Structure 1
């Protein structure tokens, strides 16, 4: 067992405490170059969060590094190509998050459509005595477009069926489900959707995927939901579309420069904002932590990793 383990960024305290039982922990962002150098030779494992950056420079500081275990499903901040080239294995925590992320995505969809947050502010600010809250949009029977039809996209579709919504999607490959219409053209999907939910993986190919053209196609009654990564949406174009009424609303859990959120999106009745909390339940975070430690245990015992990240073709 390696005596040192590096935490690339913040991880839940319970996970850090569990790891501290077996390792000398080094908090990378809080350590000096001298402190990192002192444990570099004896470090085989880095634990990172889904928002961590583990780039080639960081990897090069640990010559005996063998495993990067990511607490999260997203790993766009991890230089997987460099890791693989150095025979360093990478794991993440997929599947466990699926239901929570889909639940929040649908909650944002309902909230943005029915303007629940705005209705609460309407009461709190004392406006109800002066008249009724403005009408909002129905959800049942609407046309739902899903960008990225992986585990989370499919879970969103499952929830949508309970609301009698028609479901279509945009993905790299056609889908075989008879009740899901596949589009190879994202702009056309947006044009044919009342609500567009973004749950595609973040990578260089998907950066800025939701651009001005897509938002214009979604239209002044359309609603955008983003539970993916902030980088997938052109945030400048989104702010412009919201402020000029080119789309009808948005529900956003992720942003381009977290924790910074564009001021123009704040306190708007048609916009619902959450601080990147899609997997933020007690149950799921505990399961994610267990999967991280289970992957580490498998690695140390020379067993196959439970959830290895493989390079994309």
Structure 2
């Protein structure tokens, strides 16, 4: 007889959440589409949602259906949709947290393709519909923890990255996966002080990329991703600081050496390659021991969890490593 053990992140939400909160979250999830129409600043309008839905392979009405499995329910309520879509880091559109929602509609997201290069048997340029099975989407509630010491709890929709990477049949030389963000100076609001060396690039060690928690997301709540949240396809790596979850991906490369990453290249003393959430390693300019909970009031804070609360699933990948040195 085959007995399958279930990972902690395979819990259903009502396994761990009090019923009144469970039902409240269900109501929020069900209302996501209507909220996207009615919210003002920071949320996508009905017209924008329809435009986004025109992306190849995505449903015409902008709604995404996903089975609710494979997530680790965090403590705390879901962050309201207007906060999720209105308070963002996407420096290509400005350094203010409200700039992406204001200016990201300039970005062209249809058509969209991703170039796959490097140490793999199958490479080339692929449309989203070639990568994502929209009939097999998963809904996962993950906490997004940002290095500026704030966090959100977001219901992401997507598919695990690992099986997609496996489909390209990476060779033994592929020890890391590098990612690149879309960049167009005419569509993006780059000022006289560009902050970073564009385009934005990120990377993961191969075992991190293949970890079952690593998600390739195409939506949040029950809608396609708004531009400011990384449309039309982005990474979500929930045990790392948010800047590792690269947005609007246009290139995936299988490489043998640790790839450069934008923030590490800009300020290596502040942003390491690994960037695992660690309350014991402070940013040089502020503490990471606690975090501000976005959408929960101006004084709402919580203690920061090691690996953002996902230690059971990911800590073994870093066994024996000095996590202060390998920050």
Quickly name the TM-score band, shorter chain normalised. under 0.3
* Greater share of strand: 2
- Structure possessing the higher radius of gyration over alpha carbons: 1
* Greater share of helix: 1
What's the TM-score once normalised by structure 1's chain length?
0.23
What's the TM-score once normalised by structure 2's chain length?
0.23
Higher relative contact order (CA 8 A, sep 6+): 2
